[in-house]
Amino acid sequence: MTRDQQALQHELHIEDAINETCPWSGKPISADALTLYSGAVVGFCNPDCRDKFASALRSFEAALQARRVERSGLEQ
Ligand SMILES: [Zn+2]
């Protein structure tokens, strides 16, 4: 976990989470497995599930970025 993630973890509260169960496992969310999505707190049953979600988001972000670069190249 990076220092930023640790700082973020400290500011997120399980009672603010918009979901009650982990989308991967269906188990109840855990206070040490929270993150932000679209400005809302979302929770997972453990940090591994959260990290799996974070890496999926990064993957989509990278794909979007690549497509933007590709399109801007075509327009020129
Ligand atoms: Zn989970």
> Does residue 22 have a pLDDT over 70?
yes
32 three-class SS: coil
Measured in Å, residue 13 CA sits from the centre of ligand 1 at 17
User: How many residues does the structure list for the chain?
Assistant: 76
Q: Mind listing the pLDDT tens digit for each residue in 8-18? A: 656 899 999 99
The span from the CA of 14 to the CA of 34, in Å, is 7
CA of 14 to the centre of ligand 1 (A): 14
- The rounded Å distance from CA 26 to ligand 1 centre is 7
**What is the tens place of the pLDDT at every residue in 28-76?**
999 999 999 999 999 999 999 999 999 999 999 999 999 999 999 876 5
Ligand 1 centroid to Cα of residue 53, in Å, is: 10
Question: What is the Å distance from ligand 1's center to 17 Cα?
Answer: 14
